[in-house]
């Protein structure tokens, strides 16, 4: 038996809506930035990087690029060891900075997970409705 036309149109409608998936927008987190609930997490993450960058530039005398590099590598828990804090104040700051910064990045990752899970659920609901 051949499926009726209503099934074919339903499948094509769902396929058209799914084709809107744009990997470049997902790669650069544009879908998450459009979500108003995710913006505070982005602001906190960027603020954390900015504060760390300025602190290490000021205290350690590193360039802005080196300071930002250290912050990203440290918060990503990679820690290559090519740059290390040398003064006691920067060592104390680094301990507090890393604990807080990792928590802030985890909250950002959770928002990314939440936004993308909600999108997947919407697509599955569209399939059920049609």
pLDDT reported for residue 6: 54
Q: List C-alpha distances in Å: 56 to 47, 92, 98, 109.
A: 14, 12, 13, 25
Euclidean distance between the first and the last CA atom of the chain, given in angstroms as a whole number:
21
Higher-confidence position of 129 and 90: 90
pLDDT single digits (tens) 29-71: 788 888 888 899 999 999 999 999 999 999 999 999 999 999 9
Whether 129 has a pLDDT exceeding 60, the answer reads yes
Mean pLDDT in the chain? 85
CA atoms of 73 and 87, how far apart (whole Å): 19
So where are the chain's domains? 38-129
Measured N-to-C along each axis, helices 64-75 and 39-60 cross at an angle, to the nearest 10 degrees, of: 130
Q: What is the mean pLDDT of residues 81-104?
A: 95
Q: pTM higher than 0.85, yes or no?
A: no
Position with higher pLDDT, 56 vs 77: 56
Nearest Cα residue to 48 out of 92, 119, 108, 91: 108
List, in order, residues 6 or more apart from 55 with CB less than 8 Å away: 67, 90, 93, 97
Domain 38-129 architecture: Orthogonal Bundle (1.10)
Angstrom distances, CA of residue 17 to CA of 87, 113, 122: 56, 21, 11
Dihedral sign computed on CA atoms, order 16, 18, 24, 30:
positive
């Amino acid at each position: 038996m051949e499926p009726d036309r209503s099934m074919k149109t339903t499948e094509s409608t769902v396929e058209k809506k799914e084709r809107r998936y744009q990997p470049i927008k997902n790669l650069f987190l544009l879908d998450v930035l459009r979500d108003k609930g995710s913006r505070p997490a982005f602001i906190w993450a960027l603020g954390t990087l900015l504060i760390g960058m300025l602190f290490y530039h000021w205290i350690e005398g590193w360039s802005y690029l080196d300071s930002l590099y250290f912050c990203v590598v440290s918060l990503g828990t990679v820690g290559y060891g090519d740059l290390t804090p040398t003064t006691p104040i920067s060592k104390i700051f680094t301990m507090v900075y890393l604990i807080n910064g990792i928590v802030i990045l985890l909250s950002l990752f959770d928002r990314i997970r939440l936004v993308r899970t909600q999108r997947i659920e919407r697509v599955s609901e569209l399939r059920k409705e049609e």
